Every structure is written in structure tokens, then in C-alpha cells.
Amino acid sequence: MVKRMVLMLIAVGLVLGGIFGFQAFRGIMIKKYMASMGNQPQTVATATARLQEWQSRITAVGTLRAEKGADLSLEVAGIVEAISFKSGDDVPAGAVLLRLRADDDAAKLQALEATAQLASITYERDSKQFQAQAISRATLDTDTANLQNAEAQVAQQKALIDKKVIRAPFAGHLGLRAVDLGQYVNAGTNVVTLQSLDPIFADFYLPQREIARIKVSQPVSVRVDAYPDRDFAGQITAIDPKVDASSRNVQIRATIRNPGHVLLPGMFANVDVDTGAPARYLTVPQTAITFNPYGDTIFLVEQKGTGPSGKPRLVARQSFVTTGPTRGDQIAVLKGLREGDTIVVAGQIKLRNGTPLLIDNAVRPADDAHPKPADE
């Protein structure tokens, strides 16, 4: 029995010794592998830190709105007798666009004009007789009232006929015609939209904390999805005198020149408002920065002597940096970097201090202050 227990203890000891021995061996091999990896050159992409001038800006989104815009409609019902425009025309202010049939109204106007002319003749004759004291003052007052009533009826009928004509209230660009010749239309029927497109407004909102940084005549830049490569310049022309109590935002209006009529009301717009003087920043691609709770770091490329072939031996050195504002793919570095320093922008996850480097910039991360989607 004792002999069996001794044999079991020996077996257990051999098993535990094998396990611990294997773990120790594996640890040694891992350390050797990591050491060998640390001495192996790692392929990375690099860039050069450079100074750039950045204009301080406030970015917002807004909507384009015509300086003057109206959906033209009729005040009275009737049958369309004449259409004097085509869809998409540019028209001057006061141009006649549409007429309704008004034959009955014109005949009634002639009758009313005849009545007014008779009232005028009667008034002139009785006025002379009154001067000769042939009639009373009451008769002359009746003639005066009859004349004024007749003239008022003529004016009323002319206004009714005028309501059957649509004129352009301002110069602008017409939209699509919504009625046809001979069609019966009711009062309020939309006929066509008229928009004044040059200049055009860009309405947008900014938080109340930005009010101190904006003022009338401040320059703005507008971009729309339809023309991603174009910036449309303008300036702030109005600031709403009140802040929206629900959102704590203030509405701003900028005026944009639009001679080619490429900007249309209702378009979504990105608006940049220039504030203050331009500032110079040392910039690098954002991919160069490793963000950590204990501090942001970057890997610098340094030369440490020469290799066996006589070429410079490049190694990585990790450095803490203080970052600033971002713009597109770029980020400003305020401390920890100098102009002209070569930095690692791709592949730094496998680096540590002293790791030899091989530079391959065939594929390099984007470094654009105003990037645009690839499909555009």
C-alpha cells in the first residue's frame, strides 16, 4: 500500500514538473520570438509634418431660399383664354402670363362706363344751372353722388377684369406650367411658380454661444451636393434678433451671388462662416496619432547610423504630443513635433521604441483638409 502511494506521488510529480517545465519553455521561446521580432525591420508608410494656414470657421447646415419667390394663382374662377409664357421662361416684372375669358365682364364694363358718362354730363349741366340759381343745392348733391357711384362701379368692374389676368409681380424664372388652354380653373388654382434666383439666400442656424463671433457682412462659403467641387461665396446679410427658446439657436441669413442660376431654392447646403484671422498649424494625417487615456503619441522616424549595405538605418521613436483642432483628414499638433519631422502614418501598431523601419509609401492614408467621397 505504501509502495503504491509512493509511485502515485512520483507520477504526480512528473506530470506537474512536465507542465511547469513546458510553461517555462514556452515563455522563454515567446521572449526570444518577441526579441527577434523587435530586431526585424517593419514596413510602414510615412509623411512629413508641415505648416499650414487654417482659417478659423464655424460650420453649419442650411437651406437655400429664393430672394423673391411665389406660387402664382388666380383670385377668381374662369376659363383660360390665353397663356403667354412657356415653362422655364425668364420674365420681367409686370409681364402678362395668363388671361381668363372676360367677354361678359367687358360688356358690363362698357355699360357701367356709359352710365358714368351720363352721370358726368348731368352733373356738369346741373352745376351750371345751380350757378344760375335754377336748381336747388340738393339736386346738385344728388347728381354728385350719382356720378361718384357710377365711377366707383366702373372701377370695381375694372378690378374684377384685372383679377382675370396674372402678371409677374417681379422679374424671375418661371417653373412648370400647371394649367392648359381652355381649362376651367377655380379661384386659388396654382398656375406656375416664379422664383428670383440671383441673388439667393442661404438660411442656417448657429448655437447661441456663437453669436459673439458673427456679424453682418461676414464672409461665408456655401457648398451643395450637386456641385461638390465648387464653393459659392457670399456674406451674412441678416441675423435674427431673437434666439429660438426651444433649441437655443439663432437663425442667420447669407446672400449668395447666383448668376448662372445653378443654385435652386430648397437645396440642402453646407455653410462655412469665416471667423477671425487665419492661424498657422503644424499638421499631420489623423492616422499618425495614437489616442490613449494617458496621452496621445506619435512615432517619429530617426536615423541610427547605417546598415550593412551602407544605407541609412531608420528606427522608430515614440513621442508624446499635444493635439489641436482637426480638419478633414488632418489634425494639428501643438506640442511634441517640429516642422519637417518624418512620422509614421500607417503600420505603427507593430512598432515600439527602436524598431527598425522599412519605408513603403505606395499606399498612404488620405491627407486632405477637405475630403470628398470617392463616388463623387
How many angstroms separate the CA atoms of 122 and 137, rounded?
14
Read off the pTM.
0.60
Nearest Cα neighbor of 170 from 192, 194, 193 is 194
Q: CA separation (Å) from 304 to 9, 264, 315, 343?
A: 57, 60, 7, 15
How far is it, in rounded angstroms, from Cα 316 to Cα 40? 12
- Parallel, antiparallel or unpaired: strands 312-327 and 357-359: unpaired
Whole-number average pLDDT of the chain: 82
In this predicted model, what pLDDT tens digit does every residue of 281-338 receive, in sequence order? 888 998 889 888 888 899 998 888 776 666 778 888 898 999 988 888 889 899 988 9
The CA–CA distances, whole Å, from 124 to 80, 113, 136 equal: 42, 16, 14
The answer to whether 237 and 216 are in contact (CB under 8 A) is yes
- pLDDT tens-place string over residues 80-105: 888 888 888 888 888 888 888 877 77
Q: What is the pLDDT of residue 116?
A: 79
Each residue's pLDDT tens digit, 186-220 = 888 888 889 988 889 999 999 998 888 888 988 99
Burial (Cβ within 10 Å: 0-12, 13-18, ≥19) of residue 47: buried
Assigned C-alpha cell, 216: 453682418
How many Cα atoms within 13 Å fall on the side-chain side of residue 323?
19
Q: Which domains does the chain have, with CATH numbers?
A: 39-53+279-359 (2.40.420.20), 58-67+190-274 (2.40.30.170), 102-163 (1.10.287)
State yes or no: pLDDT of 229 exceeds 70.
yes
Q: And the C-alpha cell for 188?
A: 386659388
